[in-house]
Structure 1
Amino acid sequence: MLIRTLGKLECTKVLAENRLGHLACAREGRPYVVPIYFGYEGNCLYAFSMPGKKIEWMRASPVVSVLVEERGRGREWKSVIVDGNYEELPDRFQRNRAWALLSKYYDWWEPGAFKPVTPLMADHSDHVFFRILIDQLSGREAKETDLLP
């Protein structure tokens, strides 16, 4: 098995070719990790959620990370870590751009719209479109090696 570091272009290719990531945020020294669907464009990951714990935590502490993984043949894999900052998209143009990126897939609103318990209608909250402004990208890849000549 050979492990190597991915270059920036290779990392961005992984982001462009995938849409499921694991978002990590923290509040008061406690970590929280959840799956998100995202769209990648420019230097940002775009996503959607209903208000809840992750939105509350990111509003309180906007520094976040996202892990994106890609499985290969056998034991091969690639992983990219995005370090960045959470930013809500209140502007209609920005929200429409995020929607256009995400809505290319029929289930774009999952898992951000699902909650463990269905809220009462009186508790209805607006949905949140947001982006992660990328500060740093890093990635690794594992490849099977043939030790025989």
Structure 2
Amino acid sequence: MPVREMTDHECMDCLSKGHVGHLACSRDGVPYIVPIHYAYGIEKLYAFSMPGQKIDWLRSNPHACIQVEERSDHRLWKSVVVQGQFRELPDTPEHHTERIHAWDLLQERELWWEPGYLRPDESAQAVATPIFFGIVVDQISGRQTF
């Protein structure tokens, strides 16, 4: 099966159709990758999470990568990689408009709050505040079979 590079427009189209990706980050030379639900806005992917390892690591090293794939069958696929910067959207007047925008985009997706809200320790859910964030797109690339 031949593979080709995707154009930026094709990559953005794949991101806008998708809603689940894999977020990679690192701290002290150690990689960490987790599945996330996201929504694609112009030049930014929005997501949310409960406090935990990925947020701690992204706060200490804002360089992040998100990989999204689309499959039409076992041989035809697209894979898009976004390199970018973590930007937290705290619940402040300064970030209010963008938080609402992120919320609006995310809630268009079914089960958008999973897996960000699911934690092994249920007691943490009752007291923790969700963290909305964006990954600002610095670089985008993709490949697909045809």
TM-score (normalizing by structure 1): 0.91
Aligned to 2:140: 137
Would you say 1:124 and 2:127 are equivalent positions?
Answer: yes
Q: Percent identity?
A: 45
Task: Please identify runs of 4+ aligned residues in structure 1 that moved more than 6 A.
Answer: none
* Superposition deviation, residue 82 in structure 1: 0.2
Would you say 1:109 and 2:117 are equivalent positions?
Answer: no
Residue 111 and residue 120 in structure 1: after superposition, are their counterparts in 2 closer, same or farther (change >3 A)? closer
> What stretches of structure 2 of length at least 5 have no aligned partner?
none
Aligned-residue CA RMSD (Å):
1.3
Aligned to 2:16: 16
Aligned length: 142
> What stretches of structure 1 of length at least 5 have no aligned partner?
144-149
Amino acid at match of 1:107: L
Amino acid at match of 1:114: L
* Superposition deviation, residue 124 in structure 1: 1.5
Amino acid at match of 2:136: L
* Superposition deviation, residue 77 in structure 1: 0.5
* Superposition deviation, residue 94 in structure 1: 1.2
Residue 97 and residue 120 in structure 1: after superposition, are their counterparts in 2 closer, same or farther (change >3 A)? closer
Aligned to 2:28: 28
Aligned to 2:89: 89
Name the SS of the counterpart of 1:119 in structure 2.
Answer: helix
More helix as a share of residues:
2
- Higher gyration radius (CA): 1
Name the SS of the counterpart of 2:120 in structure 1.
Answer: coil
